[in-house]
Amino acid sequence: MLPVIALVGRPNVGKSTLFNRLTRSRDALVADQPGLTRDRKYGTGKLGKHPYVVVDTGGISGDQLGIDQLMEQQVHQAIGEADHILFLLDGREGCTGGDEIIAQQLRKTGKPVSVAVNKSEGLDETLAASDFYRLGLGDPIAIAAVHGRGVRTLIDGILSQFPPAEEADTDEEKGIQIAVVGRPNVGKSTLVNRLLGEERVVAYDQPGTTRDSIYIPITRNDKRYTLIDTAGVRRRARIKEAIEKFSIIKTLQSMQEANVVLLVLDAQQEIGEQDATLAGHVLESGRALILVINKWDGLSQDQREWIKAEIERKLPFLSFARHHYISALHGSGVGDLFGLVDQVYKSAMRDLATPELTRILEALVEEHQPPLVHGRRIKLRYAHQGGKNPPLIVIHGNQTERVPDGYKRYLISRFRSILKLRGTPVRIEFRSGDNPFQGKQNKLTKRQIQKRQRLKKFVSRKR
């Protein structure tokens, strides 16, 4: 097992900056704003031959109300999972009452604690660290997480307490990656917690609770999955904070990394423009898609028929997607989602044989011929698979660059129907064969030139 190191401290002391430094990534959002991190975020790192797991947590503010209470619960869960606690402090502010309260809580855990004094660049390291001896947690180590100064020494000291561990195959551990996306406050985090069976991410009745994309591995029926809880995406006109812009970028990146996307809609609200825009982003990503209609419980039959009609009318370009109706709060219908995920993932990753695709293409062309272009018929000769997730079908022929969009949509729809590719978009790419005589002029023989001249004389006499 890899050693687990939890980063703990007050808000805005640099925990996320240190997390990115230790994982050599930019996975955690970083800004000069307290309370940015709210959920536990896991990452892996390696120093020499020693791999480890590091956990980024929200800042402990001491406020026991609202969302701050839920954030503190996440911190305590991270402490409970950790093998070693890294207590991060702000060297420029000195030791505060909040730091002393956290130190008291950490002593009660009985777990090993290292004290790191961050933001010590430009300061006398000995003087900056001396103020924190009063916490009674050992010798403080001065670091500068943003520049990496002192970080290696700090982690070397922590990892020396553990035996060398074998690095796991992270790609294999990820399994099927499932991104949960949607507008703010539609129940994404509640759904993730329900799928996990624990309060893994902060779910609160306030739009914008989730600010970062949280990757959570899970094993179900001996199959590996990775759930990705993402920030809600609002209309561009309503985005005022720079942090929210970065959160949306993280959400779009998560869709690209995922194998399957769960687009969560609120059954108690009409399908808005932002739902359609977000659905368009999912379609562009090419990922397998399940429309998850949440808050389905308590609706009358008329309301249910109305929301179904809304989806058909406002999201007609998602006709390939599977629909699933749930209540994330009460758990109804949630257990069946993994089965649907397996189905759409299988369709997205299916191997398609060239002879089968070519036979289907011939049948479709016979059923509905391509149109004439400048008096010449477009010829489609054969097809083969060009990629997966989404399935890509490459069609070869003549004048394929002139195939109308309407005929392309016809081919996509019929291929998807015949191959029974459910829950995944299908893409088609046309390729034309090169004409070996294009741009070349036929050189006439002497006899052909004489024949042409005689023909010209004959024509001129007739006139």
Residue in the structure block whose two tokens are 């309503």: 238
Identify the bridge partners of residue 396 per DSSP, sorted by sequence position: 382, 431
b or e along 25-58 (b: 16 or more beta carbons within 10 Å of the residue's beta carbon)? eebbbbeeeeebbbbbbbbbbeeeebbbbbbbbb
List, as own/partner pairs, every contact residues 217-224 make where C-beta atoms lie below 8 angstroms and the sequence separation is at least 24, other chains included: 217/173, 217/174, 217/175, 219/175, 220/338, 221/338, 223/175, 223/176, 223/338, 223/342, 224/172, 224/173, 224/174, 224/175, 224/176
**Which of these, 131, 125, 124, lies nearest to 94 by C-alpha position?**
131
Domains 171-348 and 350-462 share a fold: no
Specify the DSSP element, H or E, that contains 5: strand 4-8
- Binding site residues for GTP, as ranges? 9-16, 56-60, 118-121, 182-189, 229-233, 294-297
- In angstroms, rounded to a whole number, what is the distance separating the alpha carbons of residues 87 and 160? 18
Which residues sit in the known binding site? 9-16, 56-60, 118-121, 182-189, 229-233, 294-297
Task: Quick: pLDDT tens for 128-185.
Answer: 888 888 888 888 888 888 888 888 888 888 888 887 766 554 444 578 999 888 888 7
**Positive/negative CA dihedral, 57, 63, 68, 71:** positive
Nearest in space to 221 (alpha carbons), one of 347, 336, 327, 350: 336
Tell me which range, 189-203, 290-304, 435-449, is most confidently predicted by mean pLDDT: 290-304
Q: How far is Cα 190 from Cα 387, in angstroms, rounded to an integer?
A: 34
- Low-confidence winner among 176-180, 208-212, 269-273, 304-308 (lowest mean pLDDT): 208-212
Architecture of the 4-160 domain = 3-Layer(aba) Sandwich (3.40)
Q: For residue 107, count other CB atoms closer than 10 A to its CB.
A: 13
- The encoded tokens of residue 374 equal 């400048």
* Residue 112 Cα distances to 91, 196, 225, angstroms: 21, 29, 32
Q: Which residues contact 47 (CB under 8 A, 6 or more apart)?
A: 152, 155, 156, 159
Cα–Cα distance, 157 to 161 (Å, whole number):
7
List strand residue ranges (DSSP E) for 260-331, in order. 260-266, 288-294, 322-325
Q: What is the mean pLDDT of residues 91-96?
A: 85
Query: Cα angle at 371 between 366 and 377, to 5 degrees?
Result: 80
What pLDDT score was predicted for residue 324?
A: 92
**Of 54-68, 87-101, 242-256, 352-366, which one has max mean pLDDT?**
352-366
To the nearest 10°, report the CA torsion of 102, 103, 104, 107.
120
Residue 41 vs residue 362, higher pLDDT: 362
**Neighbour-count burial for 266-279, b at 16+ CB within 10 Å, e otherwise:** bbeeebeebbeebb
**Pick among 3.40.190.80, 3.40.50.300, 3.20.20.70, 3.30.420.40: CATH of 171-348:** 3.40.50.300
pLDDT digits (tens, 9 = 90+) for 11-35: 888 888 888 888 887 755 554 454 4
Percentage of the chain modeled with pLDDT above 70:
83
Q: Which helix (DSSP H) or strand (DSSP E) does residue 408 occupy? A: helix 405-419
| Distance of alpha carbon 139 from alpha carbon 114, whole angstroms | 8
- The per-residue pLDDT for 131 is 83
* φ, ψ dihedrals at 53, nearest 5°: -115, 135
| CATH topology classification for 350-462 | GMP Synthetase; Chain A, domain 3 (3.30.300)
Which sequence spans correspond to the domains of the chain? 4-160, 171-348, 350-462
CA distance 90 to 251: 30
Residue 12: both structure tokens together: 């805005």
